[in-house]
Amino acid sequence: MAGYGTAHLRSEADTLLRVENLVVEFPAGRRGLKVNAVTDVSLDVRPGETLGLVGESGCGKSTTGKAIMQLPPPTSGRVMFDGTDLASVSGEELRRTRTQIQMIFQDPISSLNPRRRIEDIIAEGLNIWGVGDKSSRQQKVDEMLLTVGLDPKVARGRRPHQFSGGQCQRISIARAVITEPKLIICDEPVSALDVSVQAQILNLLEDMKARYGLTLVFIAHDLAVVKNISDRVTVMYLGRICEVGDPNVLTASRLIPTPPPCSAPSPSPIRRFARRTARSSAARSPPPCHLRAAAGSAPGAREPRNGARTRCLRCATWATASSWPVTFPSRRPTPPRPSMSSGSPTDGGPVP
Ligand SMILES: Nc1ncnc2c1ncn2[C@@H]1O[C@H](COP(=O)(O)OP(=O)(O)O)[C@@H](O)[C@H]1O
Ligand SMILES: [Mg+2]
């Protein structure tokens, strides 16, 4: 699809991670159809920064995170991490570079191997790469368990099902941090947790970031959570980026429509048919243009402030505070009406 550009990216020298024009397609069905999970996504993260990636469910956030890790490699696009183009390396070199990037997943319990003990789960990265001897690895695991707020004596020999969701997420954080990565991609790390535990895990992530000098990509569907932790936020919608900027000045989240929930318990065949037809025509129509709505009469529309950028999903126009209000050229010039006469009544021609 047409490129949406990289105008919002900062200088490459200042960034730890720079993703340009990332496209991820998945095969769908036997007729060669494809799901465009991510279309032309570009983003960057500076060292020590937390980039929030927010958007509704299914908009391609996790796919973007995994494509950065090359799991699986993207269909096209460039992923520059600490001066290395991850798309151009493979095998041993890719695996070694990837130790610098870790991931924390949404479901804390199922992301941990149920058959292994916690000490083995946390030490796995160190064991694979043969870091230090057995006793130093053991010591590191104990230190890490203490740092994430678990008692090493109790936790070491247990298995994941013996912990709560919040405790399992602490173990996932310990496992991610123990290999001393530069970047951690947190894929909805608090979505499956209670609100009270969410705050504890967010605080723990902040502490770990400060303590180990980490850089975070924080994925979530809840803008309030992302605003809490991020220095810069990228909003995704239908596989594309539609807004980038300071978390306090975002506008897109209020303007992107959310489909109403389905309330009918058992739809009749006619209603089901009508709903299916409406759904397929909604899928065919291009995404709504929140920027046009904002420039027009949408209630509460705000201009992008403090260096934030916002973008029209349909025509790829970017807007900043200096270019606001945006004026759009009319999409299709109206053709002149065919004249029925050789002249108008005012210039003395014949009246039709
Ligand atoms: N392995 C896959 N095969 C086919 N389609 C996939 C696959 N993974 C994700 N998708 C599709 O890609 C889209 C984006 O998914 P995902 O990145 O998981 O969304 P999010 O994390 O924003 O909720 C969805 O429509 C999903 O169905
Ligand atoms: Mg996801």
The string of pLDDT tens digits covering residues 71-102 is 989 999 999 999 999 988 989 999 989 899 99
Q: Is residue 345 part of a domain?
A: no
What is the layout of strands, in order, in the sheet containing 309-311? 101-104, 183-187, 215-220, 50-54, 232-237, 240-245, 309-311, 318-319
Residue to substitute in 63, 64, 242 for testing ligand 1 pocket (most ligand atoms within 8 angstroms of CB): 63
Residues 213-241 have pLDDT tens digits of 999 999 998 888 898 899 999 999 889 99
Confidence of residue 304 (pLDDT cuts 50, 70, 90): low
pLDDT for 23 equals: 95
Instruction: Indicate whether 174 and 190 sit together in one domain.
Output: no
Give yes or no: residues 79 and 193 share one domain: yes
Residues 69 and 131 in one domain: no
Per the CB < 8 A criterion, the answer to whether 311 and 255 are in contact is no
- Name, in order, each residue with C-beta under 8 angstroms of 227's C-beta and a sequence gap of 6 or more: 52, 233, 247, 248, 250
Q: 30-81 pLDDT, tens per residue? A: 777 888 899 999 999 999 999 999 998 899 999 999 999 999 899 999 999 9
Same domain, 47 and 186: yes
> How far apart (Å, rounded) are the C-alpha atoms in residues 118 and 109?
12
What are the tokens at 231?
A: 């220095």
Q: How far apart are CA 111 and CA 121, in angstroms?
A: 11
Determine the structural domain holding residue 60 and report its residue range.
1-100+181-253
User: Same domain for 57 and 164?
Assistant: no
User: What is the pLDDT, as a whole number, of residue 195?
Assistant: 86
Ligand 1: residue of 26, 54, 258 to mutate (most ligand atoms within 8 A of CB) is 26
Atom of ligand 1 nearest to the CA of 56: 22
Flag whether pLDDT at 344 surpasses 60. no
pTM for the model stands at 0.74
CA pair distance 327, 319, nearest whole angstrom: 10
User: What pLDDT does residue 262 have?
Assistant: 39
Residues 145-202: tens digit of each pLDDT: 999 999 999 999 999 999 999 999 999 999 999 999 999 999 999 998 988 899 999 9
The count of other CB atoms within 10 Å of the CB of residue 123 is 22
Residue 34 and residue 25: Cα distance in Å, rounded?
Answer: 6
Is 258 within a domain? no
Q: Are residues 4 and 64 in the same domain?
A: yes
95 shares a domain with 14? yes
pLDDT(126) > 70: yes
Mean pLDDT of the residues in the chain: 80
* Closest residue to atom 21 of ligand 1, CA basis: 62
Number of domains in the chain: 3
